[in-house]
Amino acid sequence: MMRVLPAVLLCVLLASPSLARDKEAFFDVPLETVKITEGSLPHFAPPWKYRAVATPRVLLDGPGEAWLIRPVDDGTWYPDDVVGTHLYVRLPSPGDAVGRLVLPGWDDREVRVVRFRIPAAAAKAKARDAVLSAGERHFQTLAGKDPGVPLLPGPLSPGDR
């Protein structure tokens, strides 16, 4: 009996991280399909009104992480970049993803706050890799690196010291 108990405890400890991971919720949703509960997303504007402004932000009402990622992210944001942009969300437990998008407007003084809700049913386990990649891409961009380039350099060679 004494030999079985440590083996059972070891199995439980090893299984715990995977059990916790299985409870996470992952969302990969095209921004134009997100249910807006307050405010509105920007609409297309004439080309002469284009203006690159600050980067948008996602704020969740509860715990988790969220990012807005465009197919080609050159560091600028145009208010009509809604098309092709995806909202990636990771929640530590299943449930609706609820929060706010803080979107820059057509000039430097305009900011648009839009509330959203993504139903829990939209969470997909297969979105996990896309969500984690989006987070990595977001932090690479913040660090001023191209996505795919490691944040930390490899070991220094003798000539670099």
Question: Average pLDDT of each block of 10 consecutive residues along the chain (161 residues)?
Answer: 43 41 88 92 60 76 93 66 87 97 73 93 96 89 62 48 42
pLDDT of residue 139: 84
pLDDT of residue 79: 63
pLDDT of residue 109: 67
pLDDT of residue 130: 94
Other beta carbons within 10 angstroms of residue 106's beta carbon come to 16
CA distance 100 to 84: 19
pLDDT of residue 154: 47
CB distance 72 to 99 below 8 Å: no
- Supply φ then ψ for residue 17, to 5 degrees: -60, -40
If residue 9 lies in a helix (H) or strand (E), which one and from where to where?
helix 4-22
